[in-house]
Structure 1
Amino acid sequence: MIHISEVQVKELFSKTKLPDADYVCNPYVGCTHKCIYCYAEFMKRFTNHNDNWGDFIDIKKVSSIKIPEFKENQTILFSSVTDPYNSFEKKYEATRKILKKLTGTKAHVEILTKSALVTRDIDLIKQFSNIKVGISMNTLDDKFRKEIEPYASSVEKRLDVLYKLNAEGINTYVFISPIFPGICDYESIIEKIYKHTHYICFENLNLRGSYKGRVMNYIKDTRPYLLPLYDNIYNKNDNSYWERLKDDTLKTCEKYGVDCRIYFYHDKIKKK
């Protein structure tokens, strides 16, 4: 059971140190996708929730909040610690309400989601002169997707979203994240989508806090042959796997003629 609350907040936009973004907007506290690798559960330190991450959602009341005047060279990201199109967006429309308020902004707006619900707002998205939508996915295997992202949209639906957005002339990108070492076949994804997206981003699987044990147990239970690799990366802090993968992804993107950005450990962005 998901515990639902509507909360009043004073502001919707926070400055961020994330690469390629100046502000983040999180219309919700919490997320119902229940991804086993979710780093955002650290937010519980600040929210006073007793429920497990994924078992609660706070819907921010946005109607009375004024939108700041953003500058043309600033970027606003939806979102950093929730999916702006999680399952409760269908009813509460917090993301849609904020986008309506932002219509006409000079800033660049970026939406990142795993949800097919984003297509509901194509009419609104097309009203922005400077906007892009990113689809997050790390596999074409929906069985694997169900294991790690049980309540997110299926692989098929995400591909359909990408095709629809692209057909509507909306600037799109694919965020291949998080890359599970030894599991995620990034080249198969590139081959499937490179004709339907403007560029591709890559991010490694980071493990820390309580979710590190959860993911390591998942590997132990489902793919024990990968335990030495995961131990080397996440317990012995050997980054050589990511260094090799960085070179491989750049070469693969060059092969398919698609631009790419690599966010391994949020280091310096690499572009083709």
Structure 2
Amino acid sequence: MGVANKYVIPVVVVAGCLVLIGEWKFSRSDSSETNERAESLASDGVQRVEFGESKPDIVALAVAASAGSTSPFVPTSPSGYEAPGTLNDQVGRALAAKDGPMAANLAFMLKECEINMGILEVASSEGANPHTDQELLAMRLARLRQYEREFAACQTVPGDHKQVRLRLLDLAVQQGVVGAARESFSMGSREPATLSQLIRDANAGDRYSLLNVARYDRKLLGITRDEQDAVRYALKLGAADPETGFRVVNSLRIAEEYAVPDSHFDFSEISNEARMKGAEIAERLKLRLRENMS
């Protein structure tokens, strides 16, 4: 039975889920509680969204989709749902050509598939609301049909998708694709290459890499107190910036809330070296954010 026939999309879930997903990306305000939850999910990957025996949390699914709707990776070769061949063909081409950006983009798409599957599972288990506006219903049904097509495309990739994603991300990490290491890290990779690239990405001003390096135990990451203080201080400075700070404030808040072992970062005893390095990282962070906003 095809995916489109398997999932009968009810109205009530379409309404709840897609209102939360909204425009499929963070708004420029980036300060609501929903966006904060989405950022937290993005920093940890979609592992927090569990699709087991219990019914998935529709809010978690929606914010995960919002956090991960637009791939941050720019492939050097055509890849995506509209590219030639199946997704499995594209995975083979990326690995054979050792195309890191393409591999990272495909790994991101397989992550999207997991989110789409959860949304469709919830949609198939709910009843319909006969009072929903028909025009709104048609728009939301069209969006869920898109999820179905994307989910079907992902089924061309055989085997354990997590392992396929890790293979793709390993290639991207080897080639220094910014952002690939924190995706691999969020899936549980603690390989030296992953940790080294995660730290390099954080020092380069990648916001979610900064978040991860700031919140995890520095002994796990293999960095010094000064190195972690610099990253945390960079987030602090970035959040205070009048132009781009609204994009960083939630990252700082989440890093402090989940920090191991200390929370609510105290910079009263930060060394001059860490302070200077943190300021340099903060400038790179702000530059990245300005480029993304332009």
Q: Is the TM value for this pair above 0.5? A: no
Using CA pairs below 8 Å that are at least 6 residues apart, which structure has the higher relative contact order? 2
The alignment's TM-score, normalised by the length of structure 2, stands at: 0.29
More helix by share: 2
The alignment's TM-score, normalised by the length of structure 1, stands at: 0.30
Instruction: Determine which structure has more spread, i.e. the larger CA radius of gyration.
Output: 2
